[in-house]
Structure 1
Amino acid sequence: MKDIDFDSIGKKLKEIQTHKGFTQKFVASSVKVNTSHISNIENGKVKISLTTLVNVCNVLGTTVDYVLKN
């Protein structure tokens, strides 16, 4: 089984967010986390929890499986 690539997840989330014109502040407030936490996720500094991943995907209008695909 492959390890989860948290760097790739963060980059994909940032790409979707940017494409949709959403700010980190908007995403963070929508999922009730700090803006710095979203930044750290996008930059691969922290591992995103499953709950936060699902919530961020819902805000971005995407699916978890799309974000997890390499």
Structure 2
Amino acid sequence: MLTTAEIEQCSLDTALIGKRIKKARKEKRQTQEYLAGLCDCTPTHICNIENGKIGISLELLFKISVILEKSIDYFVMDNPNANPEVKINTEIAPKLTQCDPQMLDMVVSFLDRLISYRDNLSRKLTETNNI
């Protein structure tokens, strides 16, 4: 059974989703009015979503993702249960291509240490909980 804290982690960051919708819409040079017309809702509704004042239905998020040619993961990728590959491909990989071989070695070493630290911490927490 899930704890309350685990359930709370499953919530979506509506402000972040709204910011990403706004960014994607502007990249496509679309107005709120135009997007609203395609989505069969009002410009005010789109404005409220973009400003994080209200949440968004799955159906509307799907429509917007198709219209703006983005995956749904793009809009929710910083949420705990989102696909990490999206963040890797859209934010991390482009930065790695700018690194020279020495910098890449440093990144690999850092990631190895970070993963080891996380694993050790997780192991210690498990041992503490089992006592």
The aligned residue for residue 68 of structure 2 is 60
Is 2:46 the partner of 1:49?
no
Structure 1 unaligned regions, length at least 5 = none
Is 2:41 the partner of 1:10?
no
If the length of structure 1 is used for normalisation, what is the TM-score? 0.94
Output the amino acid matched with 1:66: Y
Structure 2 unaligned regions, length at least 5 = 1-5, 79-131
* Root mean square deviation of aligned Cα: 0.8
Is 2:55 the partner of 1:39?
no
Q: Which structure would you say has the larger Rg? A: 2
State the Cα deviation string for residues 13-53 of structure 1 (Å, max 9, x = none). 00010111011011000010000000000001111000000
Output the amino acid matched with 1:25: E
Q: CA–CA distance in 2 between the matches of 1:36 and 1:46?
A: 11
**Count of paired positions:** 70
Taking CA–CA contacts closer than 8 Å with sequence separation of 6 or more, which of the two structures ends up with the larger relative contact order?
1
Could you list the structure 1 runs, at least 4 aligned residues long, displaced by more than 3 angstroms after superposition.
Answer: none
If the length of structure 2 is used for normalisation, what is the TM-score? 0.52
Identical pairs, percent: 34
Is 2:31 the partner of 1:23?
yes
Q: CA–CA distance in 1 between the matches of 2:31 and 2:65?
A: 14
Q: CA–CA distance in 2 between the matches of 1:57 and 1:29?
A: 15
